Structure 1
Amino acid sequence: MKYTYHFIFMAFALLLMTACGGSQKGQSTDSVNNDVNKLTAKVNAPSGLTLRAKPNSDSKQVALLDDKSEVEILDKNGPAETIEGKKGNWYKIKAKGDEGYVFSAFLKLKGQENESEGSQEAEQKSKKKEIDLSKFTRPANEKEAYVAAPSGIRLRSKPDVGSEEVIIAPYDAKLEVVENIDIQQKPKCIGGMIGRWIKVKYQGKEGYVVNAFVRMYAGSSRPLEMEVATPSGVTLRDKPSKDGKQVTLAPEGAMLELVNDCATLDRSKTVTIGEHTGTWIQVKYKGKVGYVFNVFLMPIMT
């Protein structure tokens, strides 16, 4: 009888150990499945993609995501919008420990990036060969304007980025100015640039464009660029602060591509450094994106 009880006890213990082991294996499998089911994407924006606190382009910047960096998609059901002529939704994502929102048109879902990567690079190389930004036409009078955006500009039926597209005018295309800037109209941040809507005509069709993306008679000859105007050059930093890490240095006379200058609309972002008061804006120089203090830059008028 003693041996019988001992045998039953050992059998019960063995059964309990087997059950525990099975449970551990089950947990491990679930963990693996969760990893497999994660939806990821890669950033598809050569100048980087802004991660924002809320699903709109005016909300606070959380981080700047590098082109081709991988992100985890948490929610794809954000508000629908059209930005820079591209339709999409705001996705909630996670990248490098930060959570926030990005516009889906600038992401490539996993499995899609390889399909279009080759053709996209070929298209970009083709555009670079075709478009020389140092060559452009100057407006002869106030009734003329020329497209300054390398990718062209969309004429819209209403002064709103969500309105219907009328026609696309390519780089350096001549536009007839139908209605010039209304000074009563408050400047807005549209596509990362500060501007106002003007009404123009192209190939017999009328529509609205943002003046920041066109070359106008009394404006800058290269409105989407700024020139370094200090002998010591400027430092591009990884965040809008003098404490940010150096990304690269641009010498005096260098042309910087404007990526986002909307911070200049927000008075709370005006800071004083030494004797200078200004705003940190986002620029691109030789393929590298960073922030510079705008008082050391000037518009290109020649």
Structure 2
Amino acid sequence: MKVRYFNYFVIILIFISTCIGKREKVYVSEFQGLYVYEEPELSSRILYRVPYKEPVEILEEREDRWKKIGYSGVEGFSYSPVLSQIRPDQYLFVDSLDGLGVYDKPSSSSNLLALIVHKTRLKVLFIDQGNNMLKKLYWAYVEGENLKGYVKIDFLSKEPRTYYYSIVSSAGVNLRSKPGLDSPVITVLPINLIGEILEKSSEKENIKGTNGYWFRTEYRGKVGWIFSGFTVTSRDKKYLEDRDYIRNEEWFMRYMDSALPVEAYSFDEKDLKDFTVDTYERGNFEIFYINYGNPREDCTVSYNSRIVFKNKLTGIAYSIQGLYAETLIHLDQPFPNTVYSSYEACNCCCPDNGNLLYFIMEDKVMFIHYKEKDSVAMCLYGSVEGIELQRENRYDFTTKTIYMNLKLPLCEVPKDPNLERVPPSGIVHNLFAIVHWDNETITIEKFYDKGIPESYYDLWDRATKNPFGTPQK
């Protein structure tokens, strides 16, 4: 018997770090240098101008975008975003299996000069801020072999990085002589095999309903191509070796541990003019649903859409970072001042999807992992292996309480390799969770492997059965 899980339900770990007191060395990245002021105001006296390429220390990062910095023993304040951890004249490596576009200007709409391959060594000549709403350094002007141009900094690394895959199809994966189903099969790579990705095809294909690419790899001295839709990929080989992505029980025990805060996000509405934006207001917050218009088939794009919450009183914005795309599904359901969304954590890779429920409070926004529709337990096979929880939600709309009765299925690999959805042979664990919101705080109570506790029998029976979706089969 084998129990397997691919992360259809991914718990996003939000790391919120304070930079106060942290002495981080960065470099002035624009030719005109960096002006340093006596106070955090543009009308304040200018103390000095730090020359291009010079290192400075960040002593404090403030929420109003001013930074307290130190240079040659003198402290002051800077409002400019022209600071980078990347030192001009430094050598970096392309970190993208899809290759990296080199442009004649710091814009992806300018002329594409070349597409350079993964692990190519480049010399950074200077940094260009570009026009991007993240307010982070975005473009680097680089020099390679017989080539100069602009590339996106997001896809450069200090050391050449290796990507790995792990086979997750129970039937294994064919290693072919060339990318494509028509090419000869060299051998079959077994499930759980971990290998190195040497190259990645540029064209996306759909095989058995799964989108993916072709990876070139080596197995026992034989070099060939495998379809990525039947793999999990990671830069961290140990992550694949430990099989963290299939640990059902550990993940299920942690599910609904707590509500998480949405972290602060650098945001300027003036940068939205080139994008499609829907805006809403709830309580003290403006909600921006931003679509950047990037082609979904472009694997070099780090994000496609985003939801931003901006406090109208403080001007501070909040957004979950590290997601490729987030879709706003609806507002005020199940309760007023809530937002329900779906997300994709990555593009051009194995599924890493889920749903979030945001709670808008007076001065902050919190969220939980939450699926609106009820579902029946299911074991998923085929291109990747996974599970669907059995879920039943009920609601008390007066007290703003959600009751969740969740069950983890027991899955056994079917004898028929063509089956892709199989009912479980049983239920392994049960989780009963109560989420209560009083407009200011969210409290979560959990009962693991205890069914519905007797003290909640009456509340469960009187709660409204899920009006938002019938069980998905």
Instruction: Give the TM-score normalised by structure 1.
Output: 0.31
Of structures 1 and 2, the larger Rg is shown by 1
